Amino acid sequence: MNPGRYTLKSFFTYQNLDQVLIPEIQRDYVWTTENVGKLIKSLLEDFHEDDRYAVEVTSEKLNIFPPQVKDLFVRALEQQKPFSNIGFLYAYSDSDDPNKYMLIDGQQRLTTLFLILMFLYIREGNQEKFRRGYFANKLPKVDYKVRENAHVFLIDYIGFLLGGGDISQVKNQFWFYKSYETDQTITAFVSNYQHIIMLLNKQDLTTEYIENQVEFWYFDTNKSEQGEDLYLYMNSRGETVETNENIKAELLQRRSDADKQQYGLKWEEWQHLFWENRDKSPTADRGFNEFLRWIKMIEVVRDGKKDNNLTETLRQLRENDKFSSDGLTMEKVESCYLALKRLLAVDLGVMFDIAFLRKQPDIKDYISLFPLLMFAERYTDASPSELKRYVRFFYNVTRFENVSKSPYQYMAQTVQMTAQFIAGRNRDVARLATSLLRLDYDNLLTKEEIWKLKMYAQATGQEYYRTELEDLFWEAEDFVLCNGRIRFLWEIMNFDPDNPKKALFKKATFISFYQTFKQLFNNPNDILRRAFLAKGDYSIADGNSSILGGSRWSFGQSLDSWRTILHDEDKVRYLRALLADVIRRKRENKTLTNPQVLKDIADAYISNGSEDEWIYHFIANPGVLAYCQDKYIVLTDENVDGIYLLSGKLAVVNGYEPLKKFAVKTAKQLAKAG
């Protein structure tokens, strides 16, 4: 049988097809009434969509046109009709009888459609027409012939129904044996047909629609040239073969007949996982294609020594919808599928999101996703805590500043590092800090990350403490301004793992500083900025102003600007002083709120400050920072006369004020108001 798109009728009436057989190795007919209901719902929606294109055209109306015009009109009407596409069917011809085809994939769909079609013919009173079209040599064209019970039952069952039998009386027939009651395929034949009657008895769905507008793509896995033929055939019609279908066909071609049956069955099971998690996508293709892309990219990296332009190869793989099965095997897809299934059963939060299967993840997500999949594949008994610890390290890597500049390079390195890590039979992620890998991957294993891992490793054997420490650090890392980096908090609490005199980590001190920091900086405002300035000039350079001829400075507004300030070693001492002062004042007076404490800190500076210092005006006059809506100034000289306030980020007409002039003006306004 040639590859291509078939309607149900054109497939079953193909001149060289006698029967489609479901072999013993295939699973039972396991579709539930829920599965059947979903298929019928989809068919009915498509069928009623067809009504929108209905045009009342009689033979009399057509005959007034010349033949060539009439043909064009009929073809145009046919092209407008919506079709119900049920995907791909995979089969191969029986070596003993080439007119019989062994079905590898599509059993559940094809069997259900056969039952639906039989019901519609019976309802219309056209049983004999059904026999002529869908029987060969007195046997139904869908048969479980190599499965004795199912085959014998099916012959009796279909004959009974076509002969006018009542479905409710099937189990009372002499040919319905006791053993049938526990046969999954037989019970599904009965219950699903009853459900079909219930759902369609009052519907206007027609045999014509099911026969001529339910379509699928057929592929013969015994004929290797059909892969290219099918691709060319579909392309010539503006159709596309989904990547997962192409890869499936290519991988099955390389297998024995027994393997084809086995893996055809497994592939259907794998595909079902992506169907269940497809969200609003109409098919399982998007998720399955993406999953196969993950495996392909991992294998390309593992074999990367043969590729002199690895990052470009990875880029092409990610950006192109089509890729080959080179480097893939059924065994590899299966082991990764099982790993994926285990991961879906574990709550890893944003580090492994089911949405990754619904749309293509950001390239940075691959940096943590690929190592996790590899780890789960290698360690099939990995506990949820082991999985979480492993992916957590790489998730933090995704937040490194340099990742966005060369994401494919980072992604390749995380895969290579994981491959070496598991090849060395390492399991605890903390081993990354003590293994020789740290010498080859110093851009991943930064000083801060190494010390975190070492601290976790030192807690091994005291599981509660390690878990507590991890939870503490992970919470701090996830705070929006930390963005994975908490070393500045260590510096604030005077903890330095490299200095023996400061190497004692005090959990209570860390918690105190972190919680205070989080409360103050959760939503930075001007009173915080004024109190912060009271401890020192924490502003950072951020470009230049050609109009004013000076450098532009930021007091923190965007996430990036605050992160730069907090991770600037020169600014840490000011932050330490601020947090320590807040903690002290609140300890002395527990009734004080954070805004009150910050105001007290600003007032303490004002009482001793001088108007000759530019910083004084920012602390003493709330209107200064209020004017700077984006918190920028331009510095032309390091005194009050050399500072310009910017209402936005850029110096534009009527968008800046000299600090000294603004301070005098607002001081007069305040005095007048007072």
pLDDT tens string 305-356: 666 789 999 999 999 988 999 999 999 999 999 999 999 999 999 999 888 8
pLDDT tens string 73-123: 444 445 445 678 888 888 888 777 888 998 888 889 999 999 999 999 999
pTM: 0.73
Q: Is residue 355 included in any domain, yes or no?
A: yes
> Mean pLDDT in the chain?
88
Are 530 and 518 contained in the same domain?
A: no
Are 117 and 161 contained in the same domain?
A: yes
Choose one of 522, 542, 562: the last residue of a domain: 522
Are 516 and 534 contained in the same domain?
A: no
The residue type at 260? K
pLDDT above 70 as % of the chain: 90
Q: How far apart are CA 325 and CA 333, in angstroms?
A: 11
Are 456 and 518 contained in the same domain?
A: yes
- 181 has a pLDDT exceeding 80: yes
Q: Is residue 62 included in any domain, yes or no?
A: no
pLDDT tens string 235-291: 444 455 688 888 988 898 888 888 888 898 898 889 888 888 888 777 788 899 999
Provide the 3-class DSSP secondary structure of residue 192.
Answer: helix
pLDDT tens string 627-667: 999 999 999 988 889 999 999 999 998 899 999 999 888 87
Q: Is residue 438 included in any domain, yes or no?
A: no
Q: What total number of domains does the chain contain? A: 4
Are 299 and 416 contained in the same domain?
A: yes
Question: Please, are residues 221 and 254 in contact by the beta-carbon 8 Å criterion?
Answer: no
Sequential DSSP letters for 252-304? HHTS-HHHHHHHHHHHHHHHHHHHHT-TT-SSSHHHHHHHHHHHHHHHHHHTG
Q: Is residue 581 included in any domain, yes or no?
A: yes
Q: Is residue 454 included in any domain, yes or no?
A: yes
Q: How far apart are CA 114 and CA 108, in angstroms?
A: 10
- Burial level of 634, CB count in 10 A (0-12/13-18/19+)? buried
Are 401 and 459 contained in the same domain?
A: no
Are 111 and 199 contained in the same domain?
A: yes
* Beta partners for residue 139, in sequence order: 136
Are 491 and 591 contained in the same domain?
A: no
Residue 557, domain extent: 524-673
Are 481 and 540 contained in the same domain?
A: no
Are 18 and 144 contained in the same domain?
A: yes
Are 398 and 511 contained in the same domain?
A: no
Per-residue confidence band for 532, with pLDDT thresholds at 50, 70 and 90: very high
Are 114 and 22 contained in the same domain?
A: yes
